[in-house]
Structure formats: structure tokens, C-alpha cells
Amino acid sequence: MRLNQVTVSARDLAASVAFYRTLGLRLIVLSDHYARFECPDGGSTFSLHLDPAARGVRETTVYFENDDLDDAVARFKAQGLRFESDPVDQRWLWREAYLRDPAGNLICLYKAGEIRRFPPWRLKEADTSG
């Protein structure tokens, strides 16, 4: 199994499309109620579904990895995006910055590299069988 796509709600589809295009996602499908993007690396997709009553996801965070995180955050700020937190090194060895999309969905831009899948505390394969 592999993760193919994440879909979040958008109150204003045009504003959300503009936001995710600013982040560098490539728009590949657009209708009056739906938009789908390709992520520039890795082949995964991300989509928006119009829901004018959406309140934004408060419990779920969407993560987008960026190898040049600090430069990307500076570039996005210059393009008018507002961040809740600038890039910070976390105790779990990731560098993270947070912002919200126009519908209030929490977005984490981060840099982890191989640490994402292979942290020093990763369980041994034999220990994960159950």
C-alpha cells in the first residue's frame, strides 16, 4: 500500500488553489467544486473539495517536505503567505514551519530527509510484526 492523495475542504476554491500553487504544487484538474495538484517531487497528488461551510481541520496536519525549507519559507513570505511559526529544529530531528490555508487547514512545511523514515529510534523490523 502507498499513500496516493490527501483531500482537504476549501471554503473558497479559487483562494485555496492560489495558495497551493504558491506552495509550488502543479494544478492538474480544476472544476467548479474540485481541484487536484501534483506535488513537484515524488508523484503524489493533493486535492481540494469545495465546502463553503468548512471550518478547517484542527486535528489533522498536512505535511509537505522541502529540502530548502528556510529559503522556501522566505520566498513564500515574500509572496504574502503568513506563517504561524518560522522554521524551528524539533527534538524529533525535523525542521518545521507552520501556516494555515485559506480554509484554516494546518500545513506543516518541513525538512527531515531520511530521518523521516529512519529515525535513530526506529523499531527493528522484527519488533513491528505484532
Q: 83 lies in a domain?
A: yes
The contacts of residue 69 (CB under 8 Å, 6+ apart) are 87, 95, 97, 109, 110, 111
Domain region containing 26: 5-120
Q: 32 lies in a domain?
A: yes
CATH of the domain at 77: 3.10.180.10
- Side-chain-facing half-sphere of 26: CA atoms under 13 Å: 8
Give the pTM.
0.84
Q: Look at residues 9, 23, 10 and name the one whose alpha carbon lies nearest to residue 99.
A: 23
What is the per-residue pLDDT across 22-79, written as a single tens digit (0 to 9) for each? 999 999 999 999 999 999 988 889 999 999 888 776 678 899 999 999 999 999 999 9
Q: 126 lies in a domain?
A: no
